Structure 1
């Protein structure tokens, strides 16, 4: 699913808190982002197998599969998707691990909506640039 300039990225919200997923989904949807959501890492992986997402918003602290573990599996399954980690708990160790695993950004919850959408758009631009490079003849 590549987009043209000006199109909105397909966003997947992965968070075990129903209210957070619903609220964020409505806020992003009202700004024109096509949004889907998953309540766990395994559910997110299922959705990624069925459909390509441009940007994935991923919570770190989830029961069962942690966000860090989910990130590693998501990047294997869908290497071009950009993953933005959302967390309520700042941790330098977690941030380093996230970047090593290919995470795009690490944001603290609650994140101002304008900042979040700016980061989503920047992540999408990076994904589109990588897709263009990948399509170039060798």
Structure 2
């Protein structure tokens, strides 16, 4: 099964390089330099993981994370930053980020985190489906 990833970072060269390297590892990668576009893209597409830059001009990563998790709680978001701080990391985790890593991210570490995100999302979706089936069974009285 192919891992689907959305990369969101305002640094175009970084996005292109990371996207190429992840595609070479067999991942299906979409990318955008716009936080607003990222929110729109997730309305129509599903991803196993979203790798999101913390510091962007139009909206910071924490705001994007909050919006994403409000609409799609099963999304697995990994925040990247060149301006790491413990406080931001704690805040990101509190708001539902799966992980928080500093740039330049080690590609092997990032790949491993994306694989964990995919597994975690699959479990969450499976639980949601099981609950929906239970609810139907209870409501139908079967």
| TM-score normalised by the chain length of structure 1 | 0.91
**Which segments of 5 or more consecutive residues in structure 2 lack a partner in the other structure?**
135-142
**Which residue is 1:33 aligned to?**
27
In the alignment, structure 1 segments of 5+ residues that lack a partner are 1-6
1:1-138 counterparts in 2 under 5 A?
7-136=1-130, 137-138=133-134
Query: Which deviates more from structure 2 when the two are superposed, residues 26-35 or residues 89-98?
Result: 89-98
**Structure showing greater Rg:** 2
Shift of 1:75: 1.1
Q: Indicate the RMSD between aligned Cα atoms, in angstroms.
A: 1.0
Contact persistence 1:15–1:62 (CA under 8 A): yes
Query: Runs in 1 of length 4+ with deviation above 4 angstroms?
Result: none
Find the residue that maps to 2:57 and give its secondary structure.
Answer: coil
Distance in 2 (alpha carbons) for counterparts of 1:40 and 1:68: 14
Alpha-carbon shift at residue 8 of structure 1 (Å): 2.6
Q: TM-score, normalised by structure 2?
A: 0.89
Alpha-carbon distance between aligned partners in 2 of 1:54 and 1:76, rounded to the nearest angstrom: 17
